Structure 1
Amino acid sequence: MTEEEFTAWYGQSVRRLTGQLFVMTGDFHEAQDVVQEAFVRAWGARRKLDGELGPDAWIRTVAWRLAVSRWRRVLGGHRAWRRRSDPVAVEGPDPYLVDLGAALRRLPPRQRQCAALFYVCDVPVGAIAAETGLSEGTVKTHLSRARALLARHLDDPERSSREDRHV
């Protein structure tokens, strides 16, 4: 990939990939950070990006791995970061998206990753398996379980919240 091609690809895909990682991680600032870091790493590997999975999958995979590494290293710091807030006047999000985001954040990380790739990013099961290193059967299992949990959380958020506290 040439410098011009990389620049054009970055301009076309950075917002979309950040949105996808936001859905996968549940933290917009974290998604921005890991996507930017993945693009920095992609710059150094740009001649190899036209591989089997494609450059977007490469960025998603690297960004997801960066996010998981950060969670493992700085779990306590991550909680503090999420509590931090900058006063910014913006229009509130669509209530459905808030409910969906909250429901996705309740899923275990692998189920959330598979659900986000399949339902938000429109990545087929085979490509999810290749991107995550899971078998297709495992991806389907994660999707099935994610659907069941999402349905429960979205049907009655109050009930599922009470059930989560008692588990």
Structure 2
Amino acid sequence: MGRSADFDAFYDATSRRVLHQLYALTGDLEQARQCTQEAYARAWRQWPAVSAATSPEAWVRTTAWRLAPGRRIAVKRPAKRPSTRAARTPGGGSADLVAALRKLPERQRYAIVARLIAGAAVADIATETGASVATVENRLAKARATLARILPDDTAVLTGGHRV
């Protein structure tokens, strides 16, 4: 396959999943769409290097997350009630879960979304974030504990049947 066909296949296989992950990270569907679109545009421009990466999908997810405007500020503000628009999540995800994720500190939120929604291994998250495996495990434990307190039992299930 040529460069274009390889990228097209990658985009088709991953773009919806990355959009869902970005929505879970940002809590804003339009922002998630814009950041995801720009991350894929950057991946296209750098496709030879991106396609050689250990996980091109992780590269796109990390790039999209770094593009999210005000992501640090959003963590410090109290979470807003989901609007009617926010409640319509990609793939029918839970607005309650997204609101709960927004209450986590940024690094915990990234770790839990990458692990439980994206299915990334702890070692891969450590590489993506420049943290040690022990630090990522600690962030995951804290995120799970916080989410368990915030979410009622019936909404504590994440993608793939993982309990928080």
User: Which residue in 1 is equivalent to 2:17?
Assistant: 16
Q: Deviations over 1:52-108 (max 9, x none)?
A: 4321011011111111xx2169x69xx9xx99x798xx79x97x8232222111111
Higher fraction of helix: 1
Change (3 A) 1:61 1:72: closer
User: For residues 111 and 51 of structure 1, what CA distance do their matches in structure 2 show?
Assistant: 28
Work out whether residues 117 and 128 of structure 1, in 8 Å CA contact, stay in contact via their aligned partners in 2.
Answer: yes
Which of 124, 137, 143 does residue 140 from structure 1 map onto?
137
Distance 1:41 1:117 in 2: 20
Is 1:61 matched with 2:62?
Answer: yes
| Change over 3 Å in CA distance of 1:128–1:72 after alignment to 2 | closer
Deviation at 1:12, TM superposition (A): 2.0
Cα RMSD (Å) of the superposition? 2.9
Which runs of structure 1 show a deviation greater than 6 angstroms over 4 or more consecutive aligned residues?
Answer: none
In structure 2, what is the Cα distance between the partners aligned to 1:102 and 1:86?
Answer: 13
TM-score (norm 1): 0.75
Contact 1:61 1:131 in 2 (8 A): yes
Structure 1 gap segments, 5+ residues each: 157-167
1:123 is paired with a residue whose SS is coil
Query: Is the Cα contact below 8 Å between 2:21 and 2:113 reproduced in 1?
Result: yes
Question: Which of 70, 89, 96 is matched with 1:99 structurally?
Answer: 96
How many residues align? The count is 144
1:22 alignment partner AA:
Y
Q: Which residue of 2 aligns with 1:5?
A: 6
Question: Identity over aligned residues, as a percent?
Answer: 42
Partner of 2:158: none
Using the size of structure 2 for normalisation, the TM-score is 0.76
> What residue in structure 2 maps to residue 46 of structure 1?
47
Q: Structure 1 stretch 6-15 or stretch 123-132: which is displaced more? A: 6-15
The separation in 1 between residues aligned to 2:102 and 2:54, in whole angstroms, is: 27
Q: CA deviation at 1:5?
A: 0.9
